[in-house]
Amino acid sequence: MCGIVGYVGHKEAAPILLKGLHQLEYRGYDSAGVALTGEGLSSISVFKAKGKVANLEEKVNAALGKSGQMLTTGIGHTRWATHGEPSEVNAHPHLSMSGDLALVHNGIIENYQLLKEQLSGHGYEFKSETDTEVLVQLIDYFYQKNGKNLAKAVSQALNKVIGAYAIVVMERNDPGHLVAARKASPLVIGIGEENSEFFIGSDASPLVEYTHKVVYLEDEQIADIRMGEDVEIMNLDETSADLNIKDVDFDISALSKGGYPHFMLKEIFEQPHCIKNSMRGRIIQHENGLYEIKLSALTNFKAKLIRARHVIIVACGTSWHAGLIGKQLIEEMCRISVDVEYASEFRYRKPVIDKDDVVIAISQSGETADTLAAIQLAKEQGALIFGIVNSVGSSIARESDTGIYIHVGPEIGVASTKAFTGQVTVLTMLSLAIANAIGSMGEEEFQRTCEELVRIPQKMEKVLGQNETIERMSNKFTYAKNFLYLGRGYNYPVALEGALKLKEISYIHAEGYPAAEMKHGPIALVDEEMPIVCIATHHHLYHKIISNMQEVKSRKGRILAIVTEGDEEVKAIAEDVIEVPATQNCLVPLLSVLPMQMLAYHVAVKKGLNVDMPRNLAKSVTVE
Ligand code: G6P
């Protein structure tokens, strides 16, 4: 959702904040703002702009270029609107009516209407429609009453609040001082040399250029940050908490496009390398040529993992699609029953969870509010929580009992690509490792599958080699208003993912369907205008999907098929064909999803759309 940055130190704050906001822009991009102050100044300067961070940057540079003041403390925000339309007045930071405080906020204050009425009764007036402005006025109310103690005022206010928040507050009377707090929304504090400066971010990406020493704020904790002093951490009840400093390891080059026109294309092409990273140190080939899968999660929690008779996978979006593949992998290889749930539904039902169940949470960001809430619910009921997460140190990673990082590096493009293949790779290794441990898979098949999994990056390169062909193909589909994606077995979740990619970035309505279900409804939509992507790689249902394609063809649908290299039968039916190398059926999604990603990318680019920041979407959904 929204992105937050903060800086206090001895340098100019504005360039650091603006750079940080650019890095966090993938989290929200309908408006942005910064608030700045410095020693000897009697006010906080606030700059806001609708749209992208670049608009804000122009404004700030124009204003500060003339002023010559040294503004060394500041906070910034890039917004994804929840309450109130995207506009300058609704953009953050929000100032309190007194002008004493400025605040940035990520999350939702659910009882803001009630608080607003109470504050109006105390004479507070509001300029915006946001819940955030209510929060800054509430903090201001306590601040004025308690003799201007900011950390105390923040704790007093947050005790009145129902909802989720990550906030940073600055005060006009005390430059060099920031107070931050979080509940159910991530916040990271970076510590500079000898506490000479501090950096704040919604994730570590804006900080790592300056420091690797970070503090991940825990839920309901408040950080009192003052230049030159140790950060003080306290709980909402004002009792003090430990300062837990961690080392963050982050590859900064992942934050640039590396010569590609978009992050999404870069991330699509990174996949062979990324899944090698997912496998590194985990699939080991011994000198005798035999493979072994070593997962620390399986060593530490082996008894519980191999005893489980029921696995529940919770996730959202693309991660949920990876979960559907996980279900097939675990059921086929381990013979353990698996349910895959939308985290947003699971958390509000009364799901049956046994203490011997394993709940797998899949999340790229590790911050998706619904997924986090789902595992908290499952944890209360005693299940083992297993996180499959990309973002190291994120909330879901920390909330999980154990898990496996996918290690694909920061994913910036809003449409998830490399995280999906990383998640599927990890789910494959996990299924193989459990199957091997419980003996549900023969040794020969285990060895064959490991060997083939290790070859997948090389085979991915071959699929990516067809990028130009797919680009040419995409030209003829920009007219489409609807698309249908069909697949069976392991390729059914790939069809769903293909449809989601197209919807997300090209704004073309698309549906994914299990191919045989087409007869029960979607076939009524098929006419000569309708492109239908059929994923028809070789597997035991191959001839059945060919029949489904014939049904489409006889209704004049335009078929674009994904087939196994050398396939001649489908070529005779389909208008266009993209080949993927032959592999084992359970590994096909790692290859067949690549043309889905490339097709969606090129259609969107041809339509002139911003693929890295599609409208209305956010990379990390930290509100429900
Ligand atoms: C958002 C993103 C999707 C992502 C989903 C789940 O909707 O735009 O790309 O799949 O959230 O996110 P997660 O970080 O939990 O995988």
Q: What digits encode the pLDDT tens for the residues 109-166?
A: 889 999 999 999 999 999 998 899 999 999 999 999 999 999 999 999 999 998 889 9
Strands 384-389 and 402-405, bridge-based pairing: parallel
pLDDT of 253 > 70? The answer is no
Q: Per CATH, is 467-606 categorized as 3.40.50.10490?
A: yes
Smallest CA separation from ligand 1 atom 15, residue? 363
CA distances from 492 to 176, 263, 404, 497 (A): 55, 27, 25, 9
Write down the pLDDT at residue 252.
Answer: 65
Q: Which active-site residues does the annotation give?
A: 2, 619
Other beta carbons within 10 Å of 286: 8
Could you tell me the pLDDT band of residue 41, with boundaries at 50, 70 and 90?
A: confident
- What digits encode the pLDDT tens for the residues 561-619? 999 999 988 888 999 999 999 999 999 999 999 999 999 999 999 999 989 888 878 77
Domain boundaries, the chain: 3-250, 255-463, 467-606
Q: What are phi and psi of 89, to 5 degrees?
A: -65, -35
Write down the pLDDT at residue 1.
Answer: 65
Q: What is the three-class DSSP state of 594? A: helix
Q: What is the three-class DSSP state of 513? A: strand
CA of 464 from ligand 1 middle (Å) equals 23
Identical topology for domains 255-463 and 467-606: yes
CATH of domain 255-463: 3.40.50.10490
Could you tell me the pLDDT band of residue 546, with boundaries at 50, 70 and 90?
A: confident
Q: What is the pTM of this model?
A: 0.79
- Rounded CA separation 187/180 (Å): 8
Could you tell me the pLDDT band of residue 67, with boundaries at 50, 70 and 90?
A: low
Average pLDDT for the chain: 92
Is the four-CA dihedral 376, 382, 388, 390 of positive or negative sign?
Answer: positive
228 conformational bin, left if phi > 0, alpha if psi -120 to 50, beta if neither: left
Pocket test for ligand 1, best of 203, 416, 501 (most atoms within 8 A of CB): 416
Ligand 1 binding pocket, CB closer than 6 Å = 316-319, 363-365, 368, 371, 414, 416, 617, 619-621
CA of 415 from ligand 1 middle (Å) equals 8
Closest ligand 1 atom to Cα of 365: 14
Residue type, 76: G
Query: CATH classification of 3-250, choosing from 3.40.190.10, 3.60.20.10, 3.30.1300.10, 3.30.450.20?
Result: 3.60.20.10
Question: At 271, which helix (H) or strand (E)?
Answer: helix 271-279
Q: Which tokens go with 389?
A: 């997460």
> What are the residues whose beta carbons fall under 8 Å from the beta carbon of 335, sequence distance 6 or more?
440
Write down the pLDDT at residue 291.
Answer: 97
- Rounded CA separation 384/193 (Å): 39
* 8 Å CB contact between 562 and 535: yes
CA trace torsion 400, 403, 404, 409 (10° rounding): 0
DSSP string, 316-336: -HHHHHHHHHHHHHHHHHH--
Other beta carbons within 10 Å of 263: 25
Pocket test for ligand 1, best of 25, 368, 388, 615 (most atoms within 8 A of CB): 368
CA distances from 231 to 151, 185, 214, 247 (A): 12, 20, 11, 16
% of the chain exceeding 90 in pLDDT: 71
Could you tell me the pLDDT band of residue 79, with boundaries at 50, 70 and 90?
A: confident
Which residue, among 66, 69, 26, 32, has the nearest Cα to 47 in the 3D structure? 32
